[in-house]
Amino acid sequence: MQLFMDRYPSSALRDSTQNMIETLRSKLEVKAFENARLYHKTGNYKSATIAMAHAIEDYPGSPYQEELQYLIIDSHYRYAEQSTNRRKLERYNDAIQAFHTFASRFPESSRLSEARTLFDKSVLSVSQLEADTKTNSENR
């Protein structure tokens, strides 16, 4: 359709073609959001974070931006919880970084307190993991 618009810019069908493009783009945006949310709902947290990041990048003006950004924090946190001890530190740090991004982009969000709870839990887990690592290295 975009090719039609480019080739025939003064066509009588220009307005209807533009409306179709906008409708289809909106449907793709919803599909990207629902796809990412489904990964999260089914516990595929790594895939969820990737799909959410792509949706945020592909649809910067989306009304789903705030929800996607929050779900990225939640997905990183849950992925860290399921990880081996060797990987937890890195993954909790991903959740912490995602919180900072969320808080800076959406400082008035209704989900900020939920996000802060995940942030606090992640910081606590990082502290515990670092303390455990220090204790284990001293005992060797």
Q: What is the pLDDT, as a whole number, of residue 25?
A: 92
pLDDT band at 50 (very low <50, low <70, confident <90, very high): very high
pLDDT at 11 over 80: no
Q: What is the pLDDT, as a whole number, of residue 5?
A: 63
More confident residue, 89 or 15: 89
Q: What is the extent of the structural domain holding 54?
A: 2-138
Q: How many domains does the chain have?
A: 1
Residue 61 token pair: 């003006």
pLDDT at 77 over 80: yes
pLDDT band at 140 (very low <50, low <70, confident <90, very high): low
Q: How confident is the model over 15-32, as pLDDT tens digits?
A: 888 888 899 999 999 999
Q: What is the pLDDT, as a whole number, of residue 139?
A: 61
Query: What mean pLDDT do residues 81-92 have?
Result: 94
CATH number, domain with residue 97: 1.25.40.10
Tell me if 80 sits within 8 A of 45, measured CB to CB: no
Q: What is the pLDDT, as a whole number, of residue 137?
A: 63
Secondary structure of 80-126 in HEC code, one letter for each residue: HHHCCHHHHHHHHHHHHHHHHHHHHHCCCCCCHHHHHHHHHHHHHHH
Beta carbons within 10 angstroms of residue 122's beta carbon = 25
